Structure 1
Amino acid sequence: MTDDVNAEVGRVEIDAYAYSDNRLNRLEWPLNFRFRTRLISGSGAGLQIKPIIECGEDCTVALNAGVPLVIGGLSKELVVTLTPNMGGEKEKVVNPYVEYKVAKTGDSFDEGVSVAAFSGKAHVPRIRCDVGLAKAGTQGCVYPDAPAVMRSVKTNDPDVDESAIHIKEALAAGKPGKFIPRDDGTIFDSSDSNPLERLRDAADRRENRRLSKNQCIAQYGKVTGQCTFTGDPDEEPSACDCDEYPFAATRQGAKSGIFSVKRIDSGDNRRAGARLGCFLASQRILDGERFYIDVEPGGPASPEALCEADYSTSAGK
């Protein structure tokens, strides 16, 4: 911080925190900022900061006026919204660039004499947006590099515990879908993880379902219900008490030859299928993209659990 004759009168250190919420069925992508400021020397009072976000022609960025810094504490939250310029496209990847400008309170961030710009000090992951690809009639954005983990079917949830127990048994037997984190403290999956991959081809999903139903008949002698739903959120559901894992809506389904079937309560099966559909739609999992499932109690909250009002369905898997 300098005075009117450009002499230094104080020095501060600023940490920027940025995070985003995955908004359902919306293309607007909010970046939420807060700043922690520590005084290093002299006086640091009367400062403000503004994030400058650019992504060229790929998006439109809402204007923001910046936020005052709080010496020794956190600033108020500042939300900057990016909107992808889809231009009629079904899918677009946006790579935002962020820099920060710091100025004295009341000074112009554009022309003020006290403005200091800081580039190369921040990173925002690439954002992928789609219209109608994850589910017909919907739209949304995600961080595609972040592993997608379904956490809305748990072994201690009486609504879906039979489905969850079957999945747990299948994972223990070596079926794919278990998320194994890296040991570096990041959110990313390790090379030991064995993901599922979404399958959108309707004929292949039907074949997965046919093969799993045949296996159920061979294993149990009888299967009631139509057993036609595969877990894809664009498909009409029907009752079914033959549960299969991996899901028919994955490339690891029954056609792979390595799958498990189990007779479970049809209501449990439909509820778990509805949550799978919500997950695929709300987390914008596209054809061929990887995802995981975690059925153990506890862990992070499941964002897709909030989507049922927006992506309502009643289904098996």
Structure 2
Amino acid sequence: MQHPNHRIRLVRWARRAAAACAVTLLTTTAATAAPTQAHTPRPATTAGFVNASSVPKSELQELNHPVPFAVYRRSHGKQTRHGHTVRRAPADEQSDLRQQCEKQAAAAKTQAGWIKSRFESCQKRPYDLILRDKNGTEAIGRLWFDMWTLGFSYDGSRRVDYVASVENIRVQTAGTEDATKWSVGQFFRNDIDASSSDANPQITAPSTVRRDELLGVWNDKPAWTLTYTSPDLGAQFNNGNQQKVAATVFMDLGVSSPSVSPYSEVDAYHSGVRFDYAGRVAGKFKGTVFTGARVELVMSRKDSEVKESALHIYDALKRPERTFPSFAGKTVPGEKEPLHRLIDQDKQDANRTKSIKECKKVWGDYSGSGLECDEYPFASTKEGSTKGDNRYSVRLITGTDNHAGGQRIDAMCTANRVLDGDPFYVKITD
């Protein structure tokens, strides 16, 4: 279930870390499923940790020699505080995704991270923080680290896992400041979008949703795993209940030193997920997906099975003047504007009926020719021919090609758990 006391705990944590100093926290309104704004670095005159980008370059020159934390710790004594035991996910679950994430650095460092697919996502955010003294007048330390969050959802299970970690910790201090006393905290929370969910949506959060540790503990045990699930009531889809639960999982970040106010960042990471039990229409009867993934139907004009279908779609998207119905300024969605899946069989049949009528209007009676009326956008989309804007195209193609194209659409929808109304795009390659 959601943890409404999360923010209260975060404030209490900050007060303890600041000791007798004033506490400055970034506050937000109550979390919603929509992403909140990223943290804005505080001015360089603020005491505590601040983003290095807000500090004059002249000050950074003296704190520009990062030392791996393990090396630093050997010369400053060992940690006296031990963290809780965390489960480290098997390396083979993460290695491929981490390697791919490294190559998507620009997307990976955003709040939502890089969403590889409906079932894999990752964030890698590099942090560079300057610690200023209690008067906010002098830089007395610098902290570098990478924050990773790997996400895994499942086709066949109402579950999503997040492997969070703080890695590659490097420090530099000045004067008597001791980086072995610095802490990093990760605080997870979740919110449900009831308007996009079915009745009585619920999420079961993991028993541990916060980890506030000294740098040495993170250095020794960098990763921990959180599992979110949604209650499974069994098959209800025949009664119109697909048990959809649309939610956002957030992570807030805190960094502290005992002598100054902590650094806090609300919504350092967020992840949109959807649990469902939609039945056969989704492929596996139940599952969980990352809703921010871009779903694409990819077809090639060189693929012998669907080359006619692919050419028709290509012309509709790139050369609509070659398609019917014909009118000036015609555009067809699917490339930049998404299509949306349509499940209702009666509405699909209505799309096909109108499209066939248009084919006969252009080419006459084609019965017995082995040709069929191909339509794009597909009859199984809400942008089909009956939408009323005439932004569609019909063309006669061979029946085998037409059937193969339909199979590709179905396979794409089930592979990605595309439900009624879900958006997807179409990409035609050479």
TM-score normalised to structure 2 length: 0.48
- How much does 1:224 deviate? 5.6
Q: 2:248 aligns with which of 83, 95, 102?
A: 95
> For 1:267 and 1:62, how far apart are their aligned partners in 2?
54
Matches within 5 A, 1:116-265: 120=266, 122-132=268-278, 135=282, 138-144=285-291, 146=292, 148-172=294-318, 173=320, 174-179=331-336, 194-220=337-363, 221-223=365-367, 241-256=372-387, 257-265=390-398
> For 2:283 and 2:223, how far apart are their aligned partners in 1?
34
> For 1:216 and 1:62, how far apart are their aligned partners in 2?
60
- How much does 1:62 deviate? 7.5
Q: Residues 5, 38 of structure 1: CA spacing in aligned structure 2 closer, same or farther, 3 A cutoff?
A: closer
- How much does 1:132 deviate? 1.0
Aligned length: 253
Structure 2: gaps spanning 5 or more residues = 1-72, 82-139, 192-201, 235-240, 257-261, 321-330
- How much does 1:120 deviate? 2.6
Is the contact between residue 54 and residue 98 of structure 1 (CA under 8 Å) also seen in structure 2?
A: yes
- How much does 1:99 deviate? 4.5
Matches within 5 A, 1:3-152: 12-33=143-164, 35-41=166-172, 53-55=188-190, 58-61=203-206, 79-86=225-232, 90-99=243-252, 120=266, 122-132=268-278, 135=282, 138-144=285-291, 146=292, 148-152=294-298
Structure 1: gaps spanning 5 or more residues = 104-115, 180-193, 226-238, 298-317
Q: Secondary structure at the match of 1:275?
A: helix
> For 1:63 and 1:276, how far apart are their aligned partners in 2?
41
Q: Secondary structure at the match of 1:20?
A: strand
Matches within 5 A, 1:272-291: 272-291=405-424
Q: C-alpha deviations, 1:218-257, integer Å up to 9, x for none? A: 43431469xxxxxxxxxxxxx9843210100112112134
1:40 alignment partner AA: V
Q: C-alpha deviations, 1:70-98, integer Å up to 9, x for none? A: 69xxx987654322235566111222232
Q: Residues 222, 62 of structure 1: CA spacing in aligned structure 2 closer, same or farther, 3 A cutoff?
A: farther
Alignment pair present for 1:292 and 2:425: yes
Is the contact between residue 48 and residue 68 of structure 1 (CA under 8 Å) also seen in structure 2?
A: no
1:55 alignment partner AA: N
2:266 alignment partner AA: G
Q: Residues 155, 149 of structure 1: CA spacing in aligned structure 2 closer, same or farther, 3 A cutoff?
A: farther
> For 1:78 and 1:178, how far apart are their aligned partners in 2?
39
Is the contact between residue 240 and residue 270 of structure 1 (CA under 8 Å) also seen in structure 2?
A: no
Q: Secondary structure at the match of 1:295?
A: strand
- How much does 1:100 deviate? 6.0
- How much does 1:166 deviate? 0.9
> For 1:159 and 1:25, how far apart are their aligned partners in 2?
30
Q: Secondary structure at the match of 1:122?
A: strand
Is the contact between residue 25 and residue 282 of structure 1 (CA under 8 Å) also seen in structure 2?
A: no
Q: Secondary structure at the match of 2:269?
A: coil
Q: Residues 260, 27 of structure 1: CA spacing in aligned structure 2 closer, same or farther, 3 A cutoff?
A: same
- How much does 1:157 deviate? 3.1
- How much does 1:269 deviate? 2.5
Is the contact between residue 155 and residue 289 of structure 2 (CA under 8 Å) also seen in structure 1?
A: no
Q: Residues 83, 101 of structure 1: CA spacing in aligned structure 2 closer, same or farther, 3 A cutoff?
A: farther
Q: Residues 202, 81 of structure 1: CA spacing in aligned structure 2 closer, same or farther, 3 A cutoff?
A: same
- How much does 1:177 deviate? 1.0
Q: Secondary structure at the match of 1:97?
A: strand
More helix by share: 2
Q: Secondary structure at the match of 1:178?
A: coil
Q: Residues 96, 210 of structure 1: CA spacing in aligned structure 2 closer, same or farther, 3 A cutoff?
A: same
Q: Residues 207, 79 of structure 1: CA spacing in aligned structure 2 closer, same or farther, 3 A cutoff?
A: same
Is the contact between residue 86 and residue 92 of structure 1 (CA under 8 Å) also seen in structure 2?
A: no
2:247 alignment partner AA: V
Q: Residues 195, 97 of structure 1: CA spacing in aligned structure 2 closer, same or farther, 3 A cutoff?
A: closer
Q: C-alpha deviations, 1:123-176, integer Å up to 9, x for none? A: 2222112111653762222233x2633143233433322221111111121211
Is the contact between residue 355 and residue 385 of structure 2 (CA under 8 Å) also seen in structure 1?
A: yes
- How much does 1:60 deviate? 3.6
Q: Residues 50, 278 of structure 1: CA spacing in aligned structure 2 closer, same or farther, 3 A cutoff?
A: farther
> For 2:232 and 2:266, how far apart are their aligned partners in 1?
27
Determine the structure 2 residue equivalent to 1:109.
none
Q: Secondary structure at the match of 2:300?
A: coil
Q: Residues 243, 94 of structure 1: CA spacing in aligned structure 2 closer, same or farther, 3 A cutoff?
A: same
State which structure, 1 or 2, has the greater radius of gyration over its C-alpha atoms: 2
1:97 alignment partner AA: F
Determine the structure 2 residue equivalent to 1:313.
none
Q: Residues 61, 266 of structure 1: CA spacing in aligned structure 2 closer, same or farther, 3 A cutoff?
A: farther
Identical pairs, percent: 22
> RMSD over aligned Cα, in angstroms?
4.3
2:285 alignment partner AA: T
1:222 alignment partner AA: Y
